A and B are shown apart, each in its own frame.
Chain A
Amino acid sequence: MSRWVPPVELPPESFSPRQKPAAPPPAQLPVSPGQEEGCDEEDVHDTPAGPGPGKRGFGPGRWILFSLILLFIAVLVEDAVGFLAAQYRLHPSLGISFGLLLFVLTGALLTAVVREWRSLRSVRAQDELRLRLERLAREDAFGQARGVLEAAGERYRERPEMNNALLAYRAAFRDHLGDRELVTLFSDVAMRPLDQAALRVVGRHAAGAALSAVLSPVAMLDALLFLWRNLRMIHEIARIYGLRPGFAGSCVLVRQMAEGMVVVGATELLTHTAADLLGDTLAGAALASAGQAATNALFTARIGLRAINQCRPVPFPPSRLPGLREIRKELQGALPTHQ
């Protein structure tokens, strides 16, 4: 038997009418000219999609862990009940007060745990989506990216600022595009409004970080302000993309923030030492402050860019990674102009 499939030409009667697509596009998005001109929707899924992530088994290790947690909770409950009973014996009002306090505390803790659990699930799903898209962006595959990108786009259906961008993506879509090209197209066209908003946020916070460096008198305060500002910036970026940075991404960001805090604190201390040694001339002080402001802005911008990269559902193609040049533009926009 030959290793290749021989050519086939089918007679015209084998043409079937166009079939309904397996996964219809969102109702409010029109079908692009390329789709009409191109091919059956099913073509895009010609190559079967790769297997989804398999469910992990519940092995003996997990049973042991599960039992230990149950044991720990039981001990805690037993301890708490004993404690409350002892208080109640002392005086009923004492027991009731402690009971109420414990009830509120347990409720708050459980709510927090459930929230964190849900968010962790979404982070894991996002990590999987990103990893899949990163793989598709590297390979010469065909027919797998479209569904994944549709799923990524679905997250933003309710966002009015994304309507035009998603429409533009669908209009530019052509069925001949390979997976790598589709990921690039989605990244360039559909993500543009979010990227612009995120870059504006980074520019604003970088400018703010520069300003606070000039104003803060103490190194400790400067470092804390830096931490607070960067956490806010990451939070805002995450809100723009509707996603949190994944576990790995969070680790990278925390490390960068720690680096930044150390550098910012050290710069502040160095500035004071230099001023003490060289004398407090106006020019020297201005120069030192400017250097410190630039350091703060630079670190904030770097963390911001990293946060954008981590929160984005679609990875940037290597040639399109935003850099400090984009932030410089945003910084210019963020600084007050006198005209």
Chain B
Amino acid sequence: MATLDQLARGAVGQLDEWVHLAMDRTVRLAVTGLNQSGKTVFTTALVHHLLHALDGANLPFFQVVAEGRLQGTRIMLQPDMDVPAFRYDSYLRALLGAKPAWPVTTDALSEIRLALRFRPAGMVSRRITPSATLYLDIIDYPGEWLLDLPMLRLSFEEWSAQTLQRCEEEPRLSLSQEWRARLAETDLAQPAREEPIRLLGESYTRFLLACKEAKVGLSFLQPGRFTIPGDFRGAPLLMFSPVPPPGHQGNPPGSLREELEKRFESYKKWVIDTFFSRYFTSFDRQIVLLDLLSAMNRGPGAFADRQMALEAILQGFRYGQANLLTRLFKPRIDKLLFAVTKADFVAANQHANLERLLRQMVARPANDAAFAGVEIKTQALASLRCTRTVVREHDGRRLSFVQGIPKGRDKETLLFPGEIPETIPDPNEWDANRFHFLEFEPRRPPDAETATPPHIRLDHALEFLLGDKLR
């Protein structure tokens, strides 16, 4: 009886989902971005402002709030029982507590569902339903995992060749020395044994972690689980490495090379495919968050690497115009927002250039998506503003500084981090002293108990991503 009851409940739940989808009352929002791009802070701020939209949140560009049609927002029970809940409360406590701090790097998947109750704006819809509900699902996950997406289309040989080719240029060339030496001394035709595979895998992982370090700051690092393993920590499928082409030796059965290939294929099947087919094929809106400032700090190599990584991960999503059938059976992303995050780390008068730079950086994927009929927007955004802009005379120039507490320090500073150029600079224009963007610590606003924390253009993002669903 209990099983029948469970089945019936499951069926009713599924039917509910279908009805919401058919009525266009569910949005699955893909918050996409590489590591440290601000996905968790964005999601926390979004949830917090929506929950407090009626009691003081400053969202003048979010029409449903500005027009007084939003009746309230609640966190709902999650649709997926086996996915951890997004820890909104603890992230918020960390950000706005007595000693504010950024959340620790996300190392696992989590999910949150919000219900937004609103009065429809249209005359007809208002007469049919005086009050409607929009369900908003957001998934948070480590950005590193997204980089696995392009691997799905590659064979072990192709992936190895691409990875080794990238290692022929700096900074990968010098960082990969130890791993490439290990690779050179390993006989790949020998019978498969655990120890050489482990040594190779560990060496490759060390190389990836060195590339990821703040000083170098590379983004295109595959496989993503090697740096953030999640539930697969210690599993054999996280212990392999790219290898050079087989040459005359071929790929003998039972050899080390064959075992590495087997692990690569297992990784694709059990990690990438499972993860993406379950969570990443049902999105209908997407925000791509990009931390351009840290990439500019690190020079043309890191900037180009980030651009390449972004283009690669966006190829894995489904884009196109949505209709009733696609919503039910094959969801597609029909609105795509590219947002450069941490906009408060530069003065407000530089935001326009930041957006121009972003438009150039995402020109190719944006063009592809636009061709598929997707509505696209670019903007500068700060989910939690932690600096103020101050104008001072310096060396006879009037400069706009940012004032805040830099990360790792305890006193405020005034920083002019350099001018954001209108176009992506040529590598020879990329002087080592041209940019000095600092990360800043979050600031607890003086009225934190009563007011929502300041942001930059979060309401623009909400209006673009959800506005039409709340009419």
Residue of B nearest to A7 (CB): B436
Measured CB to CB, the closest approach of chain B to A110, in angstroms, equals 49
Contact indicator per residue, chain B 335-359, by CB within 8 Å of chain A (1) or not (0): 0000000011001110110011000
Q: Which of A2, A14, A38, A188 contacts B389 (CB 8 A)?
A: A38
Q: B394's closest neighbor in chain A, by CB?
A: A8
In the complex, per-residue mask of B437-453: 1 if CB is within 8 Å of any chain A CB, else 0 = 00000000111000100
The CA of A142 and the CA of B392, in the complex, are separated in Å by 17
Other-chain contact of B416, A7, A33, A34, A42 (Cβ < 8 Å): A7
Cβ contacts A to B, 16 pairs, < 8 Å: A4-B418, A8-B399, A9-B413, A9-B414, A10-B392, A10-B413, A15-B390, A36-B446, A46-B347, A174-B58, A175-B348, A175-B388, A176-B344, A176-B385, A178-B348, A178-B352
- Asked if B418 and A40 make an inter-chain contact with CB atoms under 8 angstroms apart, the answer reads no
B158 at the interface (CB under 8 A from A): no
Instruction: Tell yes or no: A158 within 8 A of B by CB.
Output: no
Q: Is the CB of A4 within 8 A of B123?
A: no
Q: Could you list which residues of chain B lie within 8 angstroms of chain A, going by C-beta atoms?
A: 58, 60-61, 66, 123, 343-344, 347-349, 351-352, 355-356, 385, 388-392, 394, 397-401, 403, 411-419, 421, 431, 433-436, 445-447, 451, 454, 456-457, 460
Q: Which residues of A contact B392 (CB under 8 A)?
A: 10, 14, 16
Chain B proximity of A143: nearest CB distance (Å): 6
Residues of B near A47 (CB, < 8 A) are 349
CA distance A174 to B385 in the complex (A): 11
Choice from A46, A171, A176 contacting B351 with Cβ under 8 Å: A176
Selected from B58, B352, B394, the residue in CB contact (under 8 A) with A10 is B394
Is there contact, CB below 8 Å, between A5 and B61? Answer: no
Cβ-based interface call for A172 (8 A): yes
Query: A79: CB under 8 A from chain B?
Result: no
Interface centre among B123, B344, B390, B456 (most CB of A within 10 A): B390
Residue of A nearest to B382 (CB): A176
CB < 8 Å: which of B61, B66, B355, B418 contacts A6? B418
Contact with B along A1-36 (1 / 0, CB 8 A): 010111111111011100000000000000001101
Report, nearest first, the 5 A-B pairs whose CB atoms are least far apart: A7-B436, A172-B60, A176-B348, A140-B352, A10-B414
Contacts A5-B419, A33-B447, A33-B451 given; does A329 touch B123 at CB 8 Å: yes
- Contacts A43-B400, A181-B61 given; 6 further ones with Cβ under 8 A? A7-B435, A38-B388, A43-B347, A143-B349, A171-B58, A175-B388
Shortest C-beta distance, B454 to chain A (Å), equals 5
A309 on the interface (CB 8 Å rule)?
A: no
Instruction: Enumerate chain B residues within 8 angstroms of A176, measured Cβ to Cβ.
Output: 343-344, 348, 351, 385, 389, 456-457
A322 to B249 CA separation, bound complex (whole angstroms)? 74
The 8 Å CB contact of A142, one of B349, B417, B446, is: B349
- Is B388 in contact with A39, judged by CB distance below 8 angstroms? yes
Question: Which A147-180 residues have C-beta < 8 A from chain B?
Answer: 171-172, 174-178
Minimum Cβ distance to chain B for residue A252 (Å): 29
Whole-angstrom distance between the alpha carbons of A43 and B390 in the complex?
A: 6
Measured in the bound complex, the distance between the Cα atoms of B356 and A318 in whole Å is 22
